[in-house]
């Protein structure tokens, strides 16, 4: 495994894109149209067109961020790209004996409580969070099955990885990660 790199793309749930569209694409148009109607009892098509274009551009930009997710395992490190955020950890700094695959519903203390610097949309959490157990963690979460990787520095990585993914299978072979 030392000379082989394993990469794994993480795609957010459909609900994430729906919420991003509602928040960035549709909400500004509805808000602007409602405000224009309340103030002047008429809606300016030019204003709505401008707001629609700006909302569309913002939604397109959010798509590029939401689709920029990757987990890479090389001989020396585990690297995570999560939207705007990036984290790389040397494999020797991960406490492999405490690493495990969890179901978020079954282990609520390892779910995010507070977002400190990240993106938090339904079906997508990326960046830095504080878990319910008080641990500071870097997340790339798109589902309920998560890989919990504590580090020797006292923080953790929480990643959406399915048991059948090549990444999890490589980690399971090399480090014997258990499933809760």
* 5 pLDDT higher than 90: no
Per-residue b/e over 37-60, b at no fewer than 16 CB within 10 Å?
eeeeeeeeeeeeeebbeebeeebe
Write out pLDDT tens, residues 94-142.
999 999 999 988 999 999 999 999 999 888 999 999 999 999 999 999 9
* 3 pLDDT higher than 50: no
Mean pLDDT, range 9-18, rounded to an integer: 81
Confidence of residue 7 (pLDDT cuts 50, 70, 90): low
* 176 pLDDT higher than 90: no
User: Concatenated DSSP letters for 117-170?
Assistant: EEEEETTEEEEEEEETTS-EEEEEESSSEEEEEEBTTS-EEEEE--TTSHHHHH
73 phi-psi bin (left φ>0, alpha ψ -120 to 50, beta other): beta
Write out pLDDT tens, residues 41-77.
887 888 888 888 988 898 888 888 888 888 988 889 9
Is pTM beyond 0.85 here? no
């Amino acid at each position: 495994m030392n000379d082989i790199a394993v990469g794994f793309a993480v795609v957010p749930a459909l609900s994430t894109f729906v919420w991003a569209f509602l928040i960035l694409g549709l909400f500004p148009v509805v808000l602007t149209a409602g405000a224009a109607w309340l103030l002047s009892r008429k809606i300016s098509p030019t204003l709505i067109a401008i707001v629609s274009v700006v909302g569309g551009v913002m939604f397109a930009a959010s798509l590029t961020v939401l689709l920029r997710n990757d987990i890479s395992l090389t001989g020396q490190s585990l690297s995570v790209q999560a939207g705007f955020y990036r984290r790389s950890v040397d494999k020797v700094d991960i406490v492999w004996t405490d690493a495990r695959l969890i179901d978020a519903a079954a282990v609520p203390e390892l779910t995010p409580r507070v977002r400190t610097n990240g993106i938090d949309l339904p079906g997508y959490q990326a960046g830095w969070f504080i878990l319910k157990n008080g641990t500071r963690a870097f997340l790339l979460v798109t589902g309920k099955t998560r890989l919990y990787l504590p580090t020797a520095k006292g923080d953790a990585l929480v990643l959406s990885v399915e048991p059948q993914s090549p990444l999890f299978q490589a980690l399971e072979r090399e480090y014997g990660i258990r499933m809760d």
